[in-house]
């Protein structure tokens, strides 16, 4: 049986200063400058160039199930071919390809990533092997598997360049970081780490140049929320429900005033604000159910740069949409006296929903909810996602939208067991600028959508019309590696508001149709 790589390195690489410092053991993170300080391979690519993706790598990785370290001996045997490829990586990639988006001009035509690459990426991203604490989760990593991971990382850097799909660059960062925090177990591994680091460095340079050349967002670039069928500022006029609200009989639930509950994750900062907004709109929540394991004191897990989604640094504000710790629901607010339940498992959540005969459940700061719990609310369960659906499912949606030069859109949707797969009720765009309030404005937009839905249900007794997500367009995004968060921190998206340009008045004549003169 192939043995693991060896004992942990006691000294971590130099920390990178900033909001997301390098936490090597916890995050599988690295200081790229330190990794590339080693002797550069002879093939080291110049800026804006990358090695192409190689056919067969994803198929071999899928066959070996490289993301599964529960049987390292079997995976190591299956990974031998990939490990051999890593040794000769600089010879087999004789053809260079430029990145799909040129920093100085138009994007080139990308080649979509293969189904097999997407399958392998999903395999790594949905298991715990690359999640904090990475050092502990990769303790069974063997030299052969580590070498195969590096081959896959270099291949994915090429895939990202050819497909313009930065999820693969993100995956390459995670693979490189996981291998780099373990000591070398042979003469080849340090060289492979250096090769992968130089390829990643070239890809990073290209991405940074692209971000620096984007059209700078200004405060004048604003988009009004688009909320079809919903009106967040409307005053509800509930129907006259004649059935006693205290009746919990199933056949009466569709005739009485709808019972709207909130299911919130312990530690979420949104429930108090959402309770206030719904109360101000004339809708009183029936109860709030807090979901989370019982606390035995401060968490023992170390801090991780994955703990927080990436947003531009917050600027101080006194606006009501500001982020930060929120008071408990009902403490001196218009939403006072709302019953609150603490549930430590899904069985207790189900009991709370049944006890209060919930018609509609609003999610706030929750993980994926099991189908058995979702089915308990008569009308359904709704959630507000901070990304456009179906194209931005999953984690760090705002950061991914900025990286991809797409608008930021919040989406109100029906909650289903899949990741952000439910039918869409409404959406609302969030202007990028001013950057310092983007986090607060995104959160407030999500709360507005949820409030509008509560108003609609209280007014009509039913959910608004919904549109099923288009099949074939769904893309799931994953947690952003700290290296790419630091890239965003160095981009214009993290900076201050760009002053609005002042254009001279050329003519008072306005052409017909509203066209520009």
Domains within the chain, CATH numbers bracketed: 32-39+63-97+111-213 (no CATH), 260-293+333-494 (3.40.50.170)
Looking at residue 128, its pLDDT comes to 94
- The values of phi and psi at residue 133, to 5°, are -85, 120
Buried b (16+ CB within 10 A) or exposed e, 290-303: bbbeeeeeeeeeee
Looking at residue 79, its pLDDT comes to 63
Looking at residue 173, its pLDDT comes to 98
Cβ atoms of 376 and 352 within 8 Å: the answer is: no
Looking at residue 8, its pLDDT comes to 40
Cβ atoms of 111 and 162 within 8 Å: the answer is: yes
CA distance 73 to 57: 20
pTM attached to this predicted model: 0.83
Q: 199 in helix, strand or coil?
A: helix
In DSSP terms, 429 is beta-bridged to: 409
DSSP string, 362-374: EEES--PPPHHHH
Token pair, residue 405, equals 């030069």
Instruction: Show the low-confidence residues of the chain (pLDDT under 50).
Output: 1-3, 6-16, 43-50, 87-106, 220-229, 231-251, 318-327, 331-332, 497-517
Q: What is the pLDDT of residues 73-87, one digit of tens each?
A: 666 665 666 655 554
Which contiguous run of DSSP H or E holds residue 481?
A: none
Buried b (16+ CB within 10 A) or exposed e, 462-481: ebbebeebeeeebbbbbbbb
């Amino acid at each position: 049986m192939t043995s693991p790589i060896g004992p942990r390195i006691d000294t971590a690489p130099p920390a990178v200063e900033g909001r997301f410092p390098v936490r090597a053991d916890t995050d599988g993170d690295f200081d790229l400058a330190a990794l590339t300080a080693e002797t550069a391979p002879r093939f080291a690519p110049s800026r804006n160039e990358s090695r192409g993706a190689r056919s067969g790598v994803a198929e071999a990785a899928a066959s070996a199930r490289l993301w599964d370290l529960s049987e390292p001996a079997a995976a190591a045997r299956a990974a031998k071919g990939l490990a051999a490829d890593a040794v000769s990586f600089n010879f087999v990639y004789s053809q260079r390809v430029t990145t799909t988006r040129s920093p100085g001009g138009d994007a080139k035509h990308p080649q979509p990533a293969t189904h097999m690459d997407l399958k392998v990426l999903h395999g790594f991203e949905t298991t715990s092997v690359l999640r904090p604490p990475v050092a502990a989760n990769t303790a069974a990593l063997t030299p052969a598997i580590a070498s195969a991971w590096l081959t896959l990382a270099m291949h994915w850097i090429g895939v990202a360049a050819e497909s313009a799909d930065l999820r693969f660059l993100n995956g390459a960062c995670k693979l490189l970081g996981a291998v780099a925090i373990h000591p070398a177990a042979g003469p080849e591994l340090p060289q492979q780490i250096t090769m992968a680091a130089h390829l990643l460095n070239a890809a990073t340079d290209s991405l940074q140049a692209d971000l620096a050349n984007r059209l700078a967002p200004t405060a004048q670039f604003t988009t009004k929320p688009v909320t079809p069928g919903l009106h967040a500022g409307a005053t509800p006029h509930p129907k006259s429900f004649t059935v006693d609200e205290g009746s919990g009989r199933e056949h009466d639930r569709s005739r009485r005033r709808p019972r709207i509950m909130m299911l919130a994750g312990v530690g979420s900062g949104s429930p108090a604000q959402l309770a206030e907004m719904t109360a101000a709109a004339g809708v009183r929540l029936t109860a709030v159910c807090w979901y989370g394991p019982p606390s035995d004191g401060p968490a023992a897990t170390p801090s991780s740069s994955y703990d927080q989604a990436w947003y531009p640094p917050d600027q101080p504000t006194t606006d009501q949409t500001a982020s930060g710790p929120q008071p408990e629901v009902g403490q001196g607010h218009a939403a006072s006296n709302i019953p609150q339940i603490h549930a430590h498992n899904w069985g207790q959540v189900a009991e709370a929903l049944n006890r209060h005969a919930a018609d509609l459940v609003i999610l706030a700061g929750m993980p994926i909810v099991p189908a058995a719990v979702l089915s308990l609310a008569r009308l359904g369960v709704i959630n507000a996602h901070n990304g456009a659906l179906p194209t931005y499912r999953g984690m760090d949606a705002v950061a991914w939208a900025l990286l991809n030069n797409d608008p930021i859109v919040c989406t109100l949707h029906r909650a289903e067991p899949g990741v952000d797969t439910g039918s869409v009720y409404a959406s609302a765009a969030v202007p990028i600028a001013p950057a310092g309030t983007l986090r607060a404005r995104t959160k407030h937009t999500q709360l507005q959508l949820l409030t509008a839905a509560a108003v609609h249900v209280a007014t009509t007794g039913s959910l608004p019309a919904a549109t099923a997500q288009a099949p074939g367009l769904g893309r799931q995004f994953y947690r952003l590696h700290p290296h790419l968060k630091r890239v965003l921190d160095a981009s214009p998206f993290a900076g201050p508001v760009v002053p609005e340009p002042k254009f001279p008045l050329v003519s008072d004549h306005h052409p017909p149709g509203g066209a520009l003169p």
